[in-house]
Amino acid sequence: MTDNYPDQDSPRISARLPLRLVLISIVGLWATYFLLVTLRGVIVGLELQEALLWRRLLVCLAGAVITFGMWLVLRLVDSRSLMVKTATALVVALPAALMIAQVNQMVFADIQEKMIRKIGESQGVVIRRDEAGNLLVDFPQIPNAQATGDTAGQSVQNTGGARSFILAPAPVGAERWRQLSDIALGRYFLLLAWAALYLAMLAGAQARTAQAREERFRSAAKAAELRSLRYQINPHFLFNTLNSLSSLVITGKEARAEAMIQAVSNFYRHSLAEEPTEDVALEDEIALQRDYLAIEEVRFPERLLVAIDLPDDLERARVPGMILQPLVENSVRYAVARSTTPVQVSIEAFAADQKLHLVVADNGPGLPEGTGGGFGIGLSNVRDRLNARFGARAQVRSGQAEGGGYRTELIMPLDFNDGR
């Protein structure tokens, strides 16, 4: 028999998102980005859509790979505090965004030149780059204009029969980094949005892990409590039985003592074979009480009468093992043993409103004086076990019976499921 208890060696909750879920989030991010940027291009009427499309797809694929690399770094701090994880995301996203921006510039460099020339053609001018990388616009020769000079604040070059204006000087040094940073800034916030999604999913996974771990601890504690309460019964019952055997031997009733020993053997063989924390079929629980009452009938052959009412449709109902034992034992101890006339001990089972009702009653002298409204460890044990097993879904009603004697009724959920 093996008990499965929670792992107590690792106090820190460790949970990771499945790789499949991480990949889905990364692909979803860049697929959404691809669709939105493409839709914007269609709406604003950008030229060369087909050429832009595959280049945009290439950038998105590169972005997905870089984002995966970013995740490989983030997962190293999965078990750390939220502040550490957030700081890591803010730092790691920066180089990742710069790499994506660099890829973007490399992939779109040639198509940008084509788009610039196409815009110039639509305006009747030529837009080109010179050998130094300056962006120029060529206009036909303007009469009476200076060969070279500055017009309206623009640098002007004379190229044969046309004049060229420098629209933008070639980016060098800090200017090149400024252009790269402009592109990277948008990608940076895109990556932070994914990092926030990842951390949120991770927090949910860790919360579920913590909840499952807490539930395992709670189940282990409940099992230990049930086991402890169940084991309280056997020593109590054994003590009373040994006292009875001693009395039979002292009074010279060896045959009855031998019969009781055999009955005790049968009782313990059945009761100890059960797992203390598991429920049993009601018919098995009743059979166990028959074994116990057979022991007591050896002691009180003239005084103990037994009546058991178990409907066929309730035989397989599940109940905590030996839940009736303390109640039946109390009836024998306080009713049969203290009476000089026959006493009937009855066990009844019935169902009502999806609840199972088990009644143990006797028509003996009733509640003994000085018991304070109960039967000590026996009834307390039953209350505690039902509370540990069912909580507020179970009730115990006990007290003087109307026609005399004592009556205890256990009410618990009606369950026919063999599993816990």
Residues 191, 284 within the same domain: no
Instruction: Say whether 129 sits in a helix, a strand or coil.
Output: strand
Q: Are 133 and 167 in contact (CB under 8 A)?
A: no
Inside any domain, residue 223: no
Residues 162, 184 within the same domain: no
| pTM for this predicted structure | 0.48
Instruction: Say whether 359 sits in a helix, a strand or coil.
Output: strand
Residues 102, 200 within the same domain: yes
The whole-number pLDDT of residue 153 equals: 45
Write out the residue range of the structural domain in which residue 401 sits.
253-413
Rounded-to-integer distance, Cα 62 and Cα 54, Å: 12
The whole-number pLDDT of residue 370 equals: 53
Whether 188 shows a pLDDT value over 80: the answer reads yes
Q: What is the overall mean pLDDT for the chain?
A: 78
CB atoms < 10 A from the CB of 306, how many?
Answer: 15
Closest by CA to 279, choosing from 230, 243, 313, 234, is 230
Closest by CA to 67, choosing from 24, 36, 106, 17, is 24
Closest by CA to 134, choosing from 101, 168, 106, 93, is 168
pLDDT tens-digit map of 79-88? 888 899 999 9
Identify the weakest region by mean pLDDT among 32-46, 50-64, 125-139, 179-193.
Answer: 125-139
Q: Are 67 and 96 in contact (CB under 8 A)?
A: yes
Inside any domain, residue 210: yes
pLDDT tens-digit map of 254-306? 888 888 888 888 777 776 666 656 788 999 999 889 888 888 887 788 899 99
Residues 198, 72 within the same domain: yes
The whole-number pLDDT of residue 191 equals: 93
Residues 48, 23 within the same domain: yes
Whether 51 shows a pLDDT value over 50: the answer reads yes
Label residue 8 by pLDDT band (50, 70, 90): very low
Strand 149-151 versus strand 279-281 pairing type: unpaired
Residues 210, 333 within the same domain: no
Q: What are phi and psi of 207, to 5 degrees?
A: -65, -40
Residues 78, 186 within the same domain: yes
Question: What does the pLDDT average to over 74-79?
Answer: 90
Residues 289, 188 within the same domain: no
Inside any domain, residue 129: no
Residues 143, 259 within the same domain: no
Helix axes 174-250, 282-299, angle to 10 degrees: 30
Residues 199, 51 within the same domain: yes
The whole-number pLDDT of residue 143 equals: 52
% pLDDT > 90, the chain: 31
The sign of the dihedral angle between the CA atoms of 181, 186, 189, 195 is negative
% pLDDT > 70, the chain: 69
Closest by CA to 121, choosing from 65, 47, 190, is 47
